[in-house]
Structure 1
Amino acid sequence: MAEPTSTEASPTRAYVIHPDLGHARTQRREPEHALAEAVALAHALPGIEIIGEEVARLREPNPGTLFGKGKLAEIGERLEAAEADLVLVDGPVSPVQQRNLEQAWDVKLLDRTGLILEIFADRARTREGVLQVELAALSYQRTRLVRAWTHLERQRGGLGFVGGPGETQIEADRRAIDEQMTRLRRQLERVVKTRTLHRAARAKVPYPIVALVGYTNAGKSTLFNRMTGAEVMAKDMLFATLDPTMRAIRLPDAGGGSSGRKIILSDTVGFISDLPTELVAAFRATLEEVLEADLILHVRDISHPETEEQAADVAEILGSLGVDEDVELIEVWNKIDALSEDTRSALRRTDARTEGVQAVSALSGEGLDDLVIAIDAHLTRALDEARGTDIVTLPFSDGRRRAWLHEAGVVEREEATETGLRLHLSWTARQKAGFAALDGSSDGGK
């Protein structure tokens, strides 16, 4: 009897190259670490089998082929021997270079931007996330004058860069791309209006927002799950989280009980060096929780050999998003469980002496009690510094808004008058705006 035919598609055999320009290199990272990150990026894309990797050292990039003639032939031989289907170049590749390299090596090729876009396309789940990725991908494709546009007939969940029915056709239809981008922008506008309504509803919730940010794979989702009891996707994989997730939790009180401060905890997309500019713009709206946060937890993989470089990349992206340098921030040195006992003890001593630093293991839970105490202290200080005073008079019948004010913890004292209740308040501008949003009033009912 004949063997049954498998319907599963065979994996795409990918070869990863990190071009290192030596003295001309401007990146903060060592080339070997950059290559390791590129391989991790490739592993984050389903259907990819890594069959080889290398650092390709160059004196100067060749404008036509990126690599010089000798290096081009040398790599070509390795690709042929490895039977590679796809080459992933960890860096920018111009449309001309891409066309020439694909012709010389007879393989498909993705640069760093194309690869990250593919991953984002595979991972985006919300309607807004999907639209933002598609818009970013079209913006990228529009510059690739030699690439085929196969978006409308792609065969899998990605963007069609790796495979698709029209991939071998070297043509670009700018008018079709422009029309599709216009349609996507209109759809995105409608989705953004809906999200704005959701944000307005969130503004009515009288709790501070704490946002987790950090380099991709720093352990943000593991920490989020540990603190909230949620089950957000948390894997040892780059960009495991793309769409923001928010949960309301109550911090333990000083005695370890559950009557402490209530907060909104927000998990966000991981940052990465050389994030495509198209995606920085596209995901700005997705990161609005960071811009609105009362406190930011910058989660760092303290066990990573280039943790300082990763932290610098995160700070750079936060700055580009418009996050104020004065915003309250705690550095969470995560993954101390991956360190030696001596190093871990030294870090715990350092965080005890250093303001705004907490060493933890989201995996084992070590240090999380101290982190919760630090979060509460930072919020108390930040909210106290941001508070102003007001007097609001409410009719006796307005139990809903009175309850909101007490739930927010902003009522200093309350007294009855002939016309209603006079409440003396100490609150932040965000709390005041949330109270005003309860009924659309602008004066809080004074």
Structure 2
Amino acid sequence: MAELTDTEAKPTRAYVIHPDLGRARTQRREPEHALAEAVALALALPGIEMVGSEVTNLREPNPGKLFGKGKLAEIKQRLEAEEVELVLVDGPVTPVQQRNLEKEWGVKLLDRTGLILEIFADRARTREGVLQVELAALSYQRTRLVRAWTHLERQRGGLGFVGGPGETQIEADRRAIDEQMTRLRRQLERVVKTRTLHRAARAKVPYPIVALVGYTNAGKSTLFNRMTGAEVFAKDMLFATLDPTMRAIRLPDAGGGGAGRKIILSDTVGFISDLPTELVAAFRATLEEVLEADLILHVRDISHPETEEQAADVAEILDSLGVDEDVAAIEVWNKIDALGPDTRAALRRTDARTEGVQAVSALSGEGLEDLIAAIDRTLGEALDEERVAEELMLDFADGRARAWLHEAGVVEAEEAGEDGLHLRLRWTARQKGAFEAFTGAERAEEDEDPDDRRPSGWHPAD
């Protein structure tokens, strides 16, 4: 990938081109909106100074240089006038086209895949996220070894009589990349094992998971912060969030007043159309909470001119990730504060009549109480949470199990007897299953020899 200027150094002067195939194009987006998104993507990179952008009509992409001779000269003139250093092409560019365009225009060039990879590389924070992005970047670079670096011109393959210039060096570069990819995959295997343990730990938590998903810059992190009181980085910028963030919160009691249901809220990376295939694994790794969620909040920027197209992209990605169609979902029509008062009022009336839709402003808080009530109601229906009364007895030594039950809010009464603690509980099947998973893990940790004695734990009272 191109090496971009450090943020503390002089900004890199960038120019964005969106090639429009006209009637031949299969994209659902209008070219002007696609260009605006590409510019926003470019501005998400540090150290970028945007000096211009344009939509370029293409009847037929040139296999060697993407654009025709006249258009090449026309764009070159603009790039030279603006002293452009980096051109971002919003679409796929083959290695040969990239090499020829860089030579023709005398600039560095990134296609859409390279640009998104650069953003992910800059934003990834978790160990797995960093490894996945590095692996994706190497996979992308491997396909671009055709590029004419100067050191390739000095070598020939074989004995020097056959083969083109640079074959020996290209093979050496390819081999070095393959070796590095193998090392990264081994490291990822270890990280994945750790993540599996974390997932098992989450299974012991008695609270449902509510995952925020949506197109990038739909306002998920702002809504997350509003609901949790957290300070997750939120900015009007594409891919402001890359690594997943989770917070446990307690919803207000639906009946009014006190504390209600406790949930885990998860903020995730924003979706985007034409996600690079190299990044699918890295993208999927950030969405595990979505795959395990009890409720999905699909946050939409309802003020965006292509909100329907963005929603369709999100639906396609959720389907490709294997998200169960039966998982409960609420569409959150966000950013109603950006609409006129009449439109905003109409949307609030629509959400009142439409099941599974809530119109809100994460920025101002408008509609948030109705959204929280809808979350509580939908979770109750989705989890079929009938609470049953049950009596349990714990050994006096089982302090962690007792603390778990009280933290979950399922203890109605507690009394100490000669044989242990007698507790009267009222809980759901989900909470009971989570408690069993918790105490099972406790036993595994405490007992080296399971046949030595029956481990301390919980058991139904007689």
Give the TM bin, normalised by the shorter chain: 0.7 to 0.9
Deviations 1:353-388 (A, max 9, x none): 000000000000000000000000011111117x79
Please tell me whether residue 281 in structure 1 is matched to residue 281 in structure 2: yes
Contact 2:16-2:88 within 8 A present in 1 as well: yes
The amino acid across from 1:50 in the alignment is: M
Residue 39 to residue 205, structure 1, CA distance change in 2 (3 Å): same
Aligned-partner SS, 1:179: helix
Equivalent residue number for residue 379 of structure 1: 379
Separation in 2, partners of 1:431, 1:242: 34
Equivalent residue number for residue 40 of structure 2: 40
Contact 2:8-2:47 within 8 A present in 1 as well: no
Task: Report deviation, 1:411.
Answer: 8.0
Deviations 1:43-83 (A, max 9, x none): 00011111110000011111111112221221111112211
Separation in 1, partners of 2:43, 2:95: 25
Contact 2:294-2:382 within 8 A present in 1 as well: yes
Separation in 1, partners of 2:356, 2:79: 49
Task: Report deviation, 1:192.
Answer: 2.2
Q: Which moved more, 1:395-404 or 1:50-59?
A: 395-404
What TM-score comes out, normalization by structure 1 length?
0.86
Please tell me whether residue 290 in structure 1 is matched to residue 290 in structure 2: yes
Equivalent residue number for residue 436 of structure 2: 435
Contact 1:40-1:237 within 8 A present in 2 as well: yes
Please tell me whether residue 116 in structure 1 is matched to residue 80 in structure 2: no
Equivalent residue number for residue 194 of structure 2: 194
Equivalent residue number for residue 232 of structure 1: 232
Output aligned runs, 1:241-252, within 5 Å. Answer: 241-252=241-252
Task: Report deviation, 1:144.
Answer: 1.4
Residue 220 to residue 417, structure 1, CA distance change in 2 (3 Å): same
Deviations 1:332-354 (A, max 9, x none): 00000000000000000000000
Larger radius of gyration: 2
Equivalent residue number for residue 162 of structure 2: none
Separation in 2, partners of 1:294, 1:141: 39
The amino acid across from 1:304 in the alignment is: H
Contact 2:203-2:437 within 8 A present in 1 as well: no
Separation in 1, partners of 2:101, 2:224: 43
What TM-score comes out, normalization by structure 2 length?
0.83
Aligned-partner SS, 1:261: strand
Equivalent residue number for residue 323 of structure 2: 323
Output the aligned Cα RMSD: 2.9
Deviations 1:100-129 (A, max 9, x none): 111111111000000000011111112221
Contact 1:383-1:428 within 8 A present in 2 as well: no
Output aligned runs, 1:393-404, within 5 Å. Answer: 394-397=393-396, 398=398, 400-401=400-401, 404=404
Separation in 1, partners of 2:432, 2:318: 24
Separation in 1, partners of 2:354, 2:429: 28
Aligned-partner SS, 2:439: coil
Structure 2: gaps of 5 or more residues: 1-6, 150-168, 445-456
Separation in 2, partners of 1:327, 1:201: 22
The amino acid across from 1:295 in the alignment is: L
Contact 2:389-2:426 within 8 A present in 1 as well: yes
Equivalent residue number for residue 352 of structure 1: 352
The amino acid across from 1:341 in the alignment is: P
Aligned-partner SS, 1:283: helix
Separation in 2, partners of 1:413, 1:316: 49
Task: Report deviation, 1:254.
Answer: 3.1
Equivalent residue number for residue 126 of structure 1: 126
The amino acid across from 1:377 in the alignment is: R
Task: Report deviation, 1:410.
Answer: 6.7
Aligned-partner SS, 2:371: helix
Residue 15 to residue 171, structure 1, CA distance change in 2 (3 Å): farther
Total equivalences in the alignment? 419
Separation in 2, partners of 1:347, 1:392: 48
Aligned-partner SS, 1:16: strand
Q: Which moved more, 1:186-195 or 1:122-131?
A: 186-195
Task: Report deviation, 1:435.
Answer: 2.8
Contact 2:242-2:286 within 8 A present in 1 as well: no
Aligned-partner SS, 1:213: strand
Separation in 1, partners of 2:291, 2:326: 12
Equivalent residue number for residue 165 of structure 2: none
Aligned-partner SS, 2:286: helix
Equivalent residue number for residue 215 of structure 2: 215
Residue 391 to residue 121, structure 1, CA distance change in 2 (3 Å): same
The amino acid across from 1:209 in the alignment is: I
Separation in 2, partners of 1:108, 1:211: 39
Structure 1: gaps of 5 or more residues: 1-6, 150-169
What's the % identity of the aligned pairs?
A: 82
